[in-house]
């Protein structure tokens, strides 16, 4: 454990926090346990003693890896939108569907809002989030001054994270395929494999991204508000 646990009682935490500057402290995002933040060694992790949430996890050359993975996500998202996702054949009839077709399947009436929500959560929000991550990390990795409003951009990536549901869409497709497989012959198009790779890359990317390290890098620039 590479952080000092100050989670004894509420009064003790409050008194201890009053003796230190706020930027020397960090709270667990899950249970609000308060700690004195210390950067662990590369490859080590600072874990909350109460709920075991990973608080700080620096990795060697993580910035370059995150940028490479993020660029891969952007390419896969754009490509997967247009290539066939699934092909279905039953009783001599066949059809192909892309992710864009699935997202825009309802084009009239109240259900159009469902199409907009699906498109936003599996295409638009993940794409926006990856672009914002690039905007924040490229100058940091290059040891340059962060771009304007980088803090707001990174804060937005964290707020959008629960709404980027590419992996939820993949699980939903898997459940649907199990139910449909007995009724028709199903083939996987190029977009299916692209989307599978995309979900894996997103999970790896989020594992590499240490939010505390990024915030510390951004706070070193006094011009960032």
pTM of the model: 0.74
Q: What is the 3-state secondary structure (H, E, C) of the chain?
A: CCCEECCCCHHHHHHHHHCCCHHHEEECCCCCCEEECCCCCCCCCEECCCCCCEEECCCCCHHHHHHHHHHHHHHHHHHHHHCEEEEEEECCEEEEEEHHHHHCCCCCCCCHHHHHHHHHHHHHHHHHHHHHHHHHHHHHHCCCCCCCCHHHHHHHHHHHHHHCCHHHHHHHHHHHHHHHCCCCEEEECHHHHHHHHHHHHHHHHHHHCCHHHHHHHHHCCCCCC
Per-residue pLDDT of the chain (225 residues; tens, 9 = 90+): 444 443 333 333 444 445 666 667 788 878 878 887 777 777 778 888 888 888 888 777 778 888 999 999 889 888 888 888 877 777 667 677 777 776 666 666 777 787 788 778 888 888 899 999 999 999 988 888 888 889 999 999 989 888 888 777 777 777 777 777 777 777 788 888 888 888 888 888 888 888 888 888 887 654 544
Domain boundaries, the chain: 4-56, 62-219
CATH 1.20.140 fits 62-219, yes or no: yes
């Amino acid at each position: 454990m590479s952080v000092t646990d100050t989670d004894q009682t509420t009064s003790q935490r409050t008194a201890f926090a009053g003796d230190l500057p706020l930027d020397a402290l960090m709270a667990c995002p899950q249970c609000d346990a308060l700690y004195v933040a210390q950067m662990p060694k590369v490859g080590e992790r600072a874990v909350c003693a109460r709920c075991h949430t990973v608080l700080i996890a620096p990795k060697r050359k993580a910035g370059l890896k995150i940028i490479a993975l993020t660029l891969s996500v952007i390419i896969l998202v754009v490509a997967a939108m247009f290539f066939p996702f699934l092909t279905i054949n039953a009783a001599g009839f066949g059809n192909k569907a892309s992710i864009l077709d699935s997202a825009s399947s309802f084009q009239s009436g109240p259900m159009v809002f469902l199409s907009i929500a699906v498109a936003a959560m599996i295409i638009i929000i993940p794409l926006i989030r990856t672009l914002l991550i690039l905007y924040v990390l490229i100058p940091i990795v290059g040891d340059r001054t962060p771009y304007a409003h980088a803090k707001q951009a990174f804060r937005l990536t964290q707020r959008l994270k629960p709404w980027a549901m590419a992996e939820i869409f993949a699980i939903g497709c898997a459940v649907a395929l199990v139910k449909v497989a007995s009724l028709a012959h199903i083939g996987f198009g190029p977009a299916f494999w692209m989307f599978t790779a995309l979900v894996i890359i997103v999970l790896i990317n989020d594992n590499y991204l240490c939010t505390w390290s990024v915030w510390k890098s951004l706070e070193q620039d006094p011009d960032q508000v």
